[in-house]
Amino acid sequence: MGGRGIAVVTGGGKGIGAAVCHRLAADGYRILLTYHTSSQAAEKVVKQICSDGGDAFAVRVDCSDPSEVYVLADHPWIRTATGGPVEVLVINHGRYDRMATDELTTEHLQRTMDTNFTGAFHVWKALAPHLTRDARIVVVGSQLGIRGSPHGGDYSASKAALHVWARSLAQAVGPKGQRVNILAPGYIDTAILEDDSSERRALREGEVPLRRIGTPEDMAGVVSFLVSDDSAYVNGAIIHANGGLYLP
């Protein structure tokens, strides 16, 4: 363990975010993770990383609130010399409220956009001055940001905006030596699927050519690759990790 700088992971208390925190900690990064409501889950991630010999800290941040996001940049790990600069930023937080697209309200759409898209922008904006010249940024999008969804039009729209913004950012910061890539998961065994019946889960598995639902650890492996030197020439890419479910 050790030897590397800080990896900031938003939404790091559960699901994909938690798996990413564990994987990047194993890769040697100090982990600064954010959570919104899942304090116990976030502290469990921190405790496990520390017991494994790593270093981690959890901060409560509502990423839809710019005032809270900008406080993140004032965390001692980031603003003090001993903490070191941020080498990796994984923007993973998000909300998904299942609702028929033709029943969406303006308020519902705005709430989702404030968290998933505008919140992501504010996280990057707050931390940009603290990123190393060769920082690696991974934005967690979704296949739904490309194909759409009849029961998540707001979520799909927010992820589509996130994809295009991240690709634009990749072009803007590439000359500095920074890289930005997008992970677009398919069906992953997280809270989004926890209400599935056994029949619905079986149907999902049958849709995937690999015949299984993805795991958060599957996604963490992709993130680990995207922030490593093995992906040194990958920038502005959308990596579809969905078992062959969706092939754009």
Q: Residues in the chain, how many?
A: 248
Residue type at 161? Answer: A
**Residues in contact with 100: Cβ distance below 8 Å, sequence separation at least 6, in sequence order:** 150, 151
Structure tokens at 53: 């010999």
Does the annotation count 155 as an active-site position?
yes
Angle, helices 153-173 vs 119-127, to 10°: value is 30
Whether 104 and 153 have beta carbons less than 8 Å apart is answered as yes
User: Rounded to an integer, what distance in angstroms lies between the CA atom of residue 21 and that of residue 45?
Assistant: 8
How remote is the C-alpha of 65 from its chain's centroid? 17
Q: Which residues pair with 214 in a beta bridge?
A: 188
Please tell me the distance from the alpha carbon of residue 19 to that of residue 102, in angstroms, as a whole number. Answer: 34
* Token pair 């990896």: residue: 7
Catalytic entry in 29, 35, 96, 155: 155
CB atoms near residue 229 (< 10 Å): 7
- Active site positions, annotated: 155
